[in-house]
Amino acid sequence: MGRVDLKVELLRYTPEPEEIVAMGAKLCYTSSDLDELKEGIQKKDQGPFVNKLLSMGHLSPVEHASFTFGIEGVSRSLLAQITRHRIASFSVKSQRYVGEQSGAGKDGVFNYVIPPKIIDLGEEMVAEYERQMKTIQGWYDFWQEKLGNNGEKSNEDARFVLPNACETKLVVTMNARELLHFFQLRCCNRAQWEIRALATRMLALVKEVAPNIFAQAGPGCLRGSCPEGPFTCGKAKEVRERFSQLNHG
């Protein structure tokens, strides 16, 4: 246990996500019945259906495709941010049922995330940060003992001294429409570094399995002027180049 890094995997997703979206579009705009829809839509025809929907802003059929991610190596701070996205399902490692006692790992300290800006300060500052985490571990163990080392009954109160840096793990499911919204906000340079890194990796994963749905996904400046107004980072050109590279693997 100790310092950890971001890890994200696409665990499951709607089979043939672009076909199911195209089926929804076909039902909306043609006289097709269910028997015709069940015959499927050829690969070459799926892209035009999906692109038409996106260009029209008709996104309800896009909601039929869902994607489930496994995420670890992220902080409780990130958890507070990602759960603000309400149209999603979350399963999160519990600090009540899973304790953070020092004896649980070889390093004698709970898992934690170190912000890059602190890493950039050099080894001495990183060592100080790690010492502080060990100090907090001592506080946690102290309260565990005072509360009787009684499983969840002591975990639920001892955890109050744990920091935002403490690692969590979660499984997240979002439909494609919510992901488009999530990527617009969280791939933006104004998003905090941790959730921005997570969103960018999630985007790369879904592009592999649904390239048409997510062809233009990312921060708002990819599709026009920056929507952040006076809060713009002023780096739209650089951002567009970076996400263009993402499109090409």
Domain boundary among 124, 139, 165: 165
CB contact set of 182 (below 8 Å; sequence gap of 6+): 85, 88, 174, 199, 202
Residues 214 and 120 both lie in one domain:
no
**Higher model confidence: residue 47 or residue 175?**
175
| Mean pLDDT, all residues of the chain | 92
Asked whether residue 126 falls in the same domain as residue 190, the answer is: no
pLDDT at residue 140 in the model:
97
Residue range(s) defining the domain that contains residue 198: 7-91+168-247
Same domain flag for 181 and 83: yes
Q: Which of 76, 96, 186, 240 is catalytic?
A: 186
Q: Model confidence over 90-119: pLDDT tens digits?
A: 999 999 999 998 876 567 999 999 999 999
Q: At what angle do helices 17-29 and 43-56 cross, to 10 degrees?
A: 70
Q: What percent of the chain has pLDDT over 90?
A: 69
Does residue 73 sit within a domain?
yes
Q: How far apart are CA 162 and CA 142, in angstroms?
A: 12
Q: Are 55 and 125 within one domain?
A: no
218 with 187, same domain?
Answer: yes
Give the pLDDT score at 2: 86
Residue found by looking up tokens 């935002």 in the block: 164
pLDDT value for 199:
98
Question: Is this structure's pTM higher than 0.95?
Answer: no
The pLDDT, as a whole number, for residue 136 is 97
Residues 241 and 188 in one domain: yes
pLDDT in the model for residue 164: 98
- Number of folded domains in the chain? 2
Does residue 151 sit within a domain?
yes
Question: Residue 26 — very low, low, confident or very high, per pLDDT cuts 50/70/90?
Answer: confident
Average pLDDT of the segment spanning 145-158: 94
Question: Active site includes 96?
Answer: no
